[in-house]
Structures are given as structure tokens and as C-alpha cells.
Structure 1
Amino acid sequence: MTMNHGTTHSSSDGADVVYTDSVFGAPCWVSLTSRDLTATQDFYSAVLGWQWRGARLGDRFRTALVDGVPVAGIAGVASMWQMAVAWTPYFAVSDADVAVARVRERGATAAVGPISLPPGRAALLADRDGAAFGVWQGKLVTEWEAWRQAALTFISLHTRDAFEAAIFYGEILDWASGLPGCCEVEYARDQVLLRSQGDVVARIESGAVDMPPDPSVRPHWQVHFTVADVEPCIRAAEKHGGSILEEGEQEAVLRDPDGAQFTVASRRQR
């Protein structure tokens, strides 16, 4: 999918933006910051069965593969750049500059970029409650449908007010805008569901509060990886220096040796 040729529309804030008939506003990639690339690769190979290759950005970066398909990025820059170790989702946009401008206009944080990261441009952002996310403009590392099939990735936002957050992200990413390929939003009780091409690709849940530095209670995006069987992932995480925060038959919340939190969920649950 290339987010660069298509039809020009006027967005909700009057900006002319080029969209394609493909999805936009949907999560399209996930990346992890790491203090120790070798240890990180060993851990996720054991837990999720990933293989690895180098990335164009240099020797501090790696790309995770599932059956040869790129599914995630690892950046060994946490210590060098004094960044938190965490998983971050990226959303496909047609214009990263427009997305960053919208974030700033709404009192949120534009931390990095947009910067050129061939084959596209990226920006690292945070919403008004401090939950970090990114946007990606340009050709995707892996075509969207192939990425979803190779490592069915689901993300959830744990925040104070799901409906207020849905409005914020909707304005940034043109959710429910009526434009061709946009994501649909469904309000259900205490949560908001994001659908792309009929599939639920993200969920926003109320309840997180801003407390001491524990990512399980602060507003944050949680990355979920769908696996065939949760139990072997749990045992492999324990064996390779990780920890188990929540454990169930169909889903478990794990923490890698660096402290990055993620969820594994059974395909039967999805």
C-alpha cells in the first residue's frame, strides 16, 4: 500500500490531503525501543518465534520477521537517547505534517519529527494524557493486509475517558470522516472500537489514571500479539528473563527483560 497517489479531499480542518482508496488512520506498524538488541532479539524469538534481519537505519535497528514477512521494528536506542523502553503503535496517515499540526493544535505533544525514514516519513507523538503513538506517511514496510495476516496485531488504549480520547484521535487521524478507506468508530458501553475494512483493529478503554510510573495504570497504548497458544509464550517469557503481569488461558500480559509490556492473546479469542 502506498499512501501517496489518490484523490484530494478537504479534511475536517480545511487542509487538502491526498488519500488513496486503501485504509488510513489504522495501525500499520509497531516498534520497540531496547537497551540491549541481542537480548531483545533472543527474548522475542523465544516467546513469539520471530526471526530477524538488519534494517536500513543502521546497526542499532532490527526488523522482526514472521515467515519472512516484516512485522515489527526494534531500535536499540533507549540508553543512547534516554528513552523509555516501550512498544509503540504507528498509524497510517496521508500527510504526517498535517497530523503533527493537529496534535499541537489540540494541546498534545509532538516529540519527534516528522523525519524521513525511507520508504516513508514518521513522527512520534503523545496524546493529552501522555500515551505515546506514532504516525507513518508513505509506502508501508509491509503491505497492510499482509502485515495483519503474518502477525495479527491488535492495540488497545487504556486511558481516563475513552470517548474523549476517541474524539481526539478521530480528529488527528480522520476516523469516521466518510473519506474513502477511513476507519469506522463504534461506541460500546465503556469502550470504543476502531474498525478497518470490517475488522476491529483497536480498542479504547476507560479507567487508567495518572499514578506513579507504572505503565499498567498510566494512560498508554498496549500492543497485543495473536498467538496459537498462550501457555508456551508465558513459559518462554519466564525462562528468558521476562515477567508475567497477568495470566489467563486465553490471554496474558507480559513484560520483557527491559521492562516493555505487551499482551499475547489466543487466536481463538480474536
Structure 2
Amino acid sequence: MTESAPVVTGAAVRCVPAVPSWVSLMAGDLESATDFYGRLLGWTFSRGPDRWGPYVRALAGGVAVAGLSGATDLQLPVAWTAYFGTEDADMVSERVRARGGTVAIGPLGFDAGRLAIAADRAGAPFGIWEGDRERGAVLHTLPGAPVWIELRTPDAFDSALFYGGVFGWDDRPAGEFDVRFEHERVVLRTAGRSVAALVTSTDPEARPSWNVYFSVPDADATVELADRLGADVLGEVRDSPYGRVADLRDPQGGRFSVLGPR
């Protein structure tokens, strides 16, 4: 199994402990994926290290905000993976195992730090990234970047206890993190912004997963463009407490969402 690592040069995003700090896509056809997302989100691309297969960095406003890899194993699903920052990938990996989760890869060393791929005890995959905590932009503040991630899982409260324990949400300085229940979600807030949520899914057939939301200036226009580019539009564009949202599936089957102002 191969995953893209958050390896960036030049303008980069910051590894923020306990907060979603990077996303990666495992695509079957990397060239098609960069064409689709470049046209949809206005990204440009630069080549990254290809030790584990073809890999590029997606740039929004000149800042690397995501990684895209070409699958070397056709059995791998096309999917986005969200990475949480940490000060210590080894310690967090041990916490994952101690709380009933699994660690499939790593922690491994990369130019940008240390990386692991894990799954929570409900089976939802996520990444762990130990990187530069001092320099770089904060991911969810950048236009065209991932602005929000949402876990859809059978028991949001149990999952919140898992992630809270793994990343120490309650053990950090007062006011650094705020975990609250609002709008039928368990919501993680930091630095005055909502950055992630956990939702109890009512679909017994749905696989637990983190869904990535990309910031766009106009969700309706983005959905129209996605449809023209061959994506599947999964339901209506709708208003939410956090903005105007839509769920999409890219032409290779990778699910994601877009979030724009109301």
C-alpha cells in the first residue's frame, strides 16, 4: 500500500498539533486527477519525490495544500486521506493502538517529518503527520485549500472520545481547543474556527470515513463546473450552518465536498 506524504518545498503549510493539517489523494490515473482538480479548484502542480510512485503537490496561491499520488496497485480505492498534525508520531501511533485502532503504515521518516497511516476503532482511515510546527500557513485559512473535514461514523461520540484521547484535545492549554455538540455534530474548534466535525451516520451500509471539504468562492458554480468535468454530483447543493455545501465524486471515484459562502 502506498500513500502520498506531505513533502513540500518552498511555501508550505504548517503542521498544527491535533488539527487537520494536510490531505492526500490516491488516484488511479494521476494525470487525469491533476487535470480535473486543477480545472475545478484552480490548483497548479509541482512534482514531488517519487520514491513510492508518481507524486505531485497541489498549489493554491503558490502554497502547497495537498498531495496527489498515482496508485501502483490497482486494487487500492481512489480516496482522499486527512492527516492530523502531532508533535510525536510514535507516541500518537501507540495511543491509536491502545485505544483499539490500527496503524497500517509507519511511522516513517520523510523530508517533511514523520508520517503514519492509521484507522480508528470504527475503521475510518486517517493520517498522522509530525512536521514543522513553526513555519508555514495554516491549512484551513487558505482559499482553495481543505477548509473542513467531517467524519461520518456509526457513533460520533465514541469516535470523539477516541480522537480526543489520541491527540490529547482535553490535555492542552485552556482555550486552545473547544469540543462541542452543535448542529447534530461533535465539532472541533481551534483558534476561533471550526475545523472538523464528527457525525453519526444513519446509513448502515456506509463505510466510516473522513470527508474533505475544499474552500470555493461559489459552491453552485463549482458544482456546475464539476458536472461538466465528469464528476458525479451527490445530491443538491445546500445551505449548512457552515456555508453552502455540495458532495461530489470525482471521475475516478474519489469522494469530496466543496464549501462556499451562503
TM-score by length of 1: 0.82
How far is 1:138 from its partner? 1.7
CA distance in 2: counterparts of 1:56 and 1:147, whole angstroms:
24
Distance 1:23 1:66, change over 3 A: closer
Answer yes or no: is 1:173 the counterpart of 2:173.
Answer: no
Which residue of 185, 189, 194 corresponds with 1:191? 185
How far is 1:23 from its partner? 4.2
Amino acid at match of 2:130: Q
239-248 or 182-191: bigger deviation: 182-191
Query: 2:136 is matched with which residue?
Result: 143
Answer yes or no: is 1:64 the counterpart of 2:58.
Answer: yes
How far is 1:179 from its partner? 3.6
Which residue of 53, 74, 89 corresponds with 2:68? 74
Query: 1:228 is matched with which residue?
Result: 217
Amino-acid identity (%): 38
Query: 2:5 is matched with which residue?
Result: none
Distance 1:119 1:81, change over 3 A: farther
Which residue of 63, 85, 94 corresponds with 2:78? 85
184-193 or 91-100: bigger deviation: 184-193
Distance 1:63 1:111, change over 3 A: same
187-196 or 161-170: bigger deviation: 187-196
**Structure 1 alignment gaps of length 5 or more:** 1-21, 212-216
**Structure 2 alignment gaps of length 5 or more:** 1-14, 239-243
Distance 1:142 1:51, change over 3 A: farther
Assess if the C-alpha contact under 8 Å between 1:208 and 1:218 holds in 2: no
TM-score by length of 2: 0.85
Assess if the C-alpha contact under 8 Å between 2:28 and 2:74 holds in 1: no
Assess if the C-alpha contact under 8 Å between 1:24 and 1:183 holds in 2: no
Query: 1:156 is matched with which residue?
Result: 150
Assess if the C-alpha contact under 8 Å between 1:121 and 1:138 holds in 2: yes
How far is 1:36 from its partner? 0.3
Residue-by-residue CA offset, 1:134-180 (whole Å, 9 max, x unaligned): 01002269824266224252100111111111100001111121347
Distance 1:180 1:137, change over 3 A: farther
Amino acid at match of 2:156: A
162-171 or 244-253: bigger deviation: 244-253
Assess if the C-alpha contact under 8 Å between 1:24 and 1:181 holds in 2: no
CA distance in 2: counterparts of 1:98 and 1:219, whole angstroms:
24
Count of equivalent residues: 241
CA-based RMSD of the aligned residues comes to 2.2
Query: 2:40 is matched with which residue?
Result: 47
How far is 1:239 from its partner? 2.0
Answer yes or no: is 1:37 the counterpart of 2:57.
Answer: no
Counterpart mapping for 1:198-237 below 5 A: 198-211=192-205, 217-237=206-226
CA distance in 1: counterparts of 2:177 and 2:76, whole angstroms:
31
Amino acid at match of 1:244: V
- What is the SS of the residue equivalent to 1:176? helix
- What is the SS of the residue equivalent to 1:56? coil
Which residue of 243, 246, 265 corresponds with 2:235? 246
Assess if the C-alpha contact under 8 Å between 2:146 and 2:212 holds in 1: no
Assess if the C-alpha contact under 8 Å between 2:125 and 2:210 holds in 1: yes
